[in-house]
Amino acid sequence: MGAKEDGQRIDNFLLKQLPGVPKSHVYQLLRSGQVRINGGRVKAERKLAKGDEIRIPPVRDVDKSQAVRPPDAMLNRLRATIIHEDEHYLAINKPAGVASHAGSGIPYGVIEAIRAWNKYEFIELAHRLDRDTSGVLLLAKDRPALLRAQRAFKYGDTEKRYFALLIGRWRGEDRDVDAALVKNRLNGEQHRVQIDEEDGKPSKSRFSPKERYRDATLCEVQIFSGRTHQIRVHALALGHPVAGDQKYGERTDNKPLRELGLKRMFLHSHFLKLLPDGTFDKLIVNAPMPDELRDVLSRLPKIRS
């Protein structure tokens, strides 16, 4: 194992080395001890170090051949979403409905499409966005930049802000939600996140109302952690689920918004800042709100004065 892989998690290393092999099978190889580093069993979060000897069991060629090349239309669509690029980072304004990476039932995502550009020697996701969330998605173009971003997200040296349209009329001003979250499996690959102060991971969000409508409120949400479905579950805890959220919202609440043209979840990551770190300068990326969301706002009945 060389310097390029130094610091990379073994699960991410295997997923890159075994294209087309189902993600679930890669993790099964790790759990069963078939993947060895320096002769010993390892967990998925084990980070590689220069000089490590990795044993990967034989994997059938038929599995490798299952890798799906994203269509040219997807490659071109993502090229048009670039909002920032420098020597270390690439950032896109990810469209809703596009996954960050391939997974169960999802043959390709953003990272597979960008790799298919054949433009970068190294390109990795620095973080992830839910499939149904649009906005800033950051990718690293070298290992030091990836580790810098991972440190920033882990230790809170970031500022992450979203726009979320919430169901119902907001009372008062800013409200914080500090509630631990835990992810529970439902069936297969599906999961649901719940508040659980005993077993959950610390999670904090700040909701700030920006525009008030008759039956909904546009909030800017700053998150101080990066848990799965964090904004969606914290909004639900406030009694104001995210508009268009089919997992945590109510069908009856979303129906009037669908009639106004909302065909997706109204959650958009519009601002990301990484603080300076060593030789890395401060990084700020902004992603404009998509027209499809602006159009919905323009149709919403406003509160009469």
Question: Phi first, then psi: what are they for 104, rounded to 5°?
Answer: -60, 120
How far is the C-alpha of 108 from the C-alpha of 89, rounded, in Å? 21
pLDDT digit string (tens) for 78-123? 999 999 999 999 999 999 999 999 877 788 899 999 999 999 999 9
Higher pLDDT, 61 or 219: 219
How far is the C-alpha of 289 from the C-alpha of 66, rounded, in Å? 35
pLDDT digit string (tens) for 225-275? 999 999 999 999 999 999 999 999 988 889 999 999 999 999 999 999 999
* Residue 163 in this model has a pLDDT that exceeds 70: yes
How far is the C-alpha of 168 from the C-alpha of 253, rounded, in Å? 9
pLDDT digit string (tens) for 31-52? 888 899 888 898 888 888 888 8
Residue 268 — left, alpha, or beta (φ > 0 → left; ψ -120 to 50 → alpha)?
beta
According to DSSP, the β-strands at 124-125 and 191-195 are unpaired
Q: Please list the active-site residues.
A: 130
pLDDT digit string (tens) for 116-128? 999 999 999 999 9
**H or E segment and range at residue 218:** strand 216-223
* Residue 189 in this model has a pLDDT that exceeds 60: no
pLDDT category at 61 given cuts 50, 70, 90 is very low
pTM as predicted: 0.80
Nearest one of 92, 96, 135 to 111, comparing CA atoms: 92
pLDDT for the residue 3: 63
Give the angle subtended at the CA of 71 by the CAs of 65 and 77, to the nearest 5°: 140
